[in-house]
Amino acid sequence: METLTQQQIDALLETAKVYRLRAYAPYSGFKVGAAVLTASGRLYGGCNVENASHPAGRCAEQTAVQKAVSEGETELLAVAALADGTGVCLPCGVCRQVLGEFNPDMWVVMANLSGAVEVVRLSELMPRPFRMRQDANRPGEG
């Protein structure tokens, strides 16, 4: 995908806003909503789900990816992450790795509730993702 349209950005952010309200964040209070756009044009939303055993929790971006994949969608074109804060919501390192598994050059829309928005390619945020094989796009391929 050469570029994201404003309509696609708006749809990603609106979906992320809806899912942010569903976040389960009793420990940090930091609610995040996310949405992924697939090649079929469908949007899948997700929210962060915390757990008392911290590693058992899940980030919003990962939730959205898992929902898309569980529905048979593996061609991800873009992701949006939205939270309340002074800056835009950047995906964490684990989320960047998860996203890169499906499209290392996807668009990443980062935003906050105050209206700040930044759009970059995932490859700018994570220029050298881990690969099982250096010549493969996905583990086991190539």
The residues annotated as belonging to the active site are 61
Please name every residue paired with 83 in a beta bridge, in sequence order, or none if there are none: 32, 112
Closest by alpha carbon to 91, among 131, 64, 72? 64
Contacts of 31 (CB under 8 A, 6+ apart): 20, 21, 23, 25, 47, 48, 83, 84
Kindly report the number of other CB atoms within 10 A of residue 127's CB atom.
Answer: 9
The token duo for 142 is 């190539």
- Write down the H helix ranges in the chain: 6-20, 60-70, 93-102, 122-125
